[in-house]
Amino acid sequence: MFFCLECLPQSLVESLVVSTIDVFNTISRELLPTPAHSHYTFNLREIWKVFQGMTFLSPKVIRTKQQVIKCWVHETSRVFGDRLVNEEDRLWLRELLLSQTQKHFDLSAKDIFTSERLVFADFCNSSGERFYEEVTDLQHWRSVIESFISEYNAVNGVGMHLVAFFDACEHVSRICRILRQPAGHALLLGVRGSGRQSLSRLASFIMDCDAFQIEVVKGYGMNEWRDDLRNCFLRCGLEEKVQTFLLEDSQVTQEAMMEDLNNVLSYGDLPNLYKKEDLEAIVNQCKGLCTQLGMQPTKVNIFNAYVRRVKANLHVILAMSPVGDQFRTRLRMFPALTNCCTIDWFSEWPAEALVSVARMQLESDGLSLPDQDAAIEVLQFIHRSVQDAAEKFLAECRRPVFVTPTCFLELLKTLTETVKSKQLELSTIRERFGKGLGKLAEAARQVERMQQQLQEWHPVLVATSEEVRKPPL
């Protein structure tokens, strides 16, 4: 059951509209696209996305004006704020939103941000019903996502080694919000190793979507690409399966693939994609759908009804790196990437994430260091120091050096391999010394036994010696 904005007082609705337009105009004027953040482009769709997100509220759980305004701040932050690349811009947007809530709704920061993070999600309700509501218990929110990770690993028979630190949980909730929307598509911007693909698969699992990803092997070309798209579309349109089509920019072998995606995002279809038998199956299976939509069951109308169903069930998730000229060129050549996708910027991992990942990795490797917390702090310090040095190097020499989360994982891997190697070396030495000590102990026992035998034989030896010394008779 969706929330009806008409149920709200007219004055509140008008204030929401005016506030959203003010935010849109201010952001469009102040946050202009530059080579460093070429995705800072905003259009009127953003206003529609804010109110689309608010319609997911349920009147069963939303009863006060404060809850509605909190949701407005959350949706505005998702639409405009998730694409921002640095903390300075995020703080600026936060102050802008707070000024609007104070001006139009007489609500302060304490009224809006009652906890550390403002999060809305629909998978935390203990009753099992999916109500889109504010997450008030962040620890419970994280534990729910951890349980989904365990369930995902059990169902798929794979080990998705994810650590549910708060930033990762927030990205999961953002992607779930996108997948909740009809024809909701995501553009995830971040460096490799930041968790874009893993979190997308987890979010797809939480939202009961089938995650599909192409496998680029030798000889993979446009024919294979089109076959993958066609099969995915048929599952969405004929089998009524909700699909997430996950694609990483490194899998794009030809720019024609991006052209196809631009058409899919814009229109939900590609020309000359289907075979004759596919079109026959579409006509046979979608006649009833066409009738339900109140259209005459002609071939054109039936196919249009099929395309409408595909658009409703298909979610494209693009994981791209924002670094380099190629990204800026693609944004310019394929406008649907920004017009039809909700952008989520993956920032550097916070200190909490680095510490959590390090602890989990050491635990999974079965390592227990005597000063483990201190070692983890040193690893974090090294990683942060290299990041600072890379920024300084870029400023002075104009040459980028990318210090990604993968670098931290490699550093952690180096530590674990070194510790294991040293532990094996020490174990070998200890075993060798143990064997040596065992042999020395055995020799000592043999000497002791011989001494006891000598003591026992001593009287016999003395008697025998005396007999030998006696002169013969």
Output the six-digit token pair for 104: 């139009």
**Contact, 315 vs 209, CB < 8 A?**
yes
Helix residue spans in 238-324 (DSSP H): 255-267, 276-285, 287-292, 299-313
CATH of the domain at 323: 3.40.50.300
pLDDT digits (tens, 9 = 90+) for 293-327: 888 888 889 998 999 999 999 999 999 988 878 88
CATH of the domain at 123: 1.20.920.30
Q: Note whether residue 447 is domain-resident.
A: no
- Secondary structure element (H or E) that encloses residue 448, with its range: helix 405-469
Q: Note whether residue 156 is domain-resident.
A: yes
Q: Note whether residue 456 is domain-resident.
A: no
pLDDT digits (tens, 9 = 90+) for 319-346: 998 887 888 999 999 999 999 999 999 9
pLDDT at residue 473, rounded to an integer = 57
| Residues 67, 144 within the same domain | no
Output the CA–CA distances (angstroms, integers) from residue 138 to 63, 104, 135, 164, 165, in the order listed.
21, 29, 7, 12, 11
pLDDT digits (tens, 9 = 90+) for 86-112: 899 999 999 999 999 999 988 888 889
| Residues 403, 377 within the same domain | yes
| Residues 254, 309 within the same domain | yes
| Residues 413, 361 within the same domain | yes
| Residues 186, 96 within the same domain | no
- For the stretch 248-257, contacts whose Cβ atoms lie closer than 8 Å and that sit 24 or more positions apart, written own/partner, are 248/196, 248/197, 248/318, 248/319, 248/320, 249/318, 249/319, 249/320, 249/321, 249/326, 249/327, 250/192, 251/214, 251/216, 253/216, 253/220, 253/221, 254/221, 254/222, 254/225, 255/333, 256/222, 257/222, 257/225
| Residues 124, 142 within the same domain | no
* pLDDT classification of 411: cutoffs 50, 70, 90: confident
Strand partners, 134: 120
| Residues 243, 144 within the same domain | yes
**How is 66-79 classified by DSSP, letter by letter?**
HHHHHHHHHHHIII
pLDDT at residue 212, rounded to an integer = 92
- How many domains is the chain partitioned into structurally? 3
DSSP structure class, residue 348: P
Q: Note whether residue 194 is domain-resident.
A: yes
Going by C-beta distance under 8 Å and a sequence separation of 6 or more, which residues neighbour residue 148? 123, 202, 205, 206
User: Domain containing 413: what range?
Assistant: 351-431
What is the Cα–Cα distance from 231 to 270, expressed in whole angstroms? Answer: 13
**Contact, 124 vs 140, CB < 8 A?**
yes
**Arithmetic mean of pLDDT, 28-32:** 93
Crossing angle between the packed helical segments 166-180 and 196-206, to the nearest 10 degrees: 50
| Residues 5, 85 within the same domain | yes
**Quick check: 364 pLDDT over 80?**
no
What is the Cα–Cα distance from 10 to 5, expressed in whole angstroms? Answer: 9
Last residue of a domain, one of 322, 346, 370: 346
Q: Note whether residue 444 is domain-resident.
A: no
| Residues 329, 423 within the same domain | no
Average pLDDT, the chain: 88
Q: Note whether residue 438 is domain-resident.
A: no
Hey, is 414 helix, strand or coil?
Answer: helix
| Residues 389, 293 within the same domain | no
Question: 158, 267, 270, 292: which is closest to 225 by C-alpha?
Answer: 270
Q: Note whether residue 32 is domain-resident.
A: yes
| Residues 146, 115 within the same domain | no
Last residue of a domain, one of 102, 134, 166: 134
pLDDT at residue 2, rounded to an integer = 46
Q: Note whether residue 227 is domain-resident.
A: yes
| Residues 161, 228 within the same domain | yes
Last residue of a domain, one of 346, 363, 379: 346
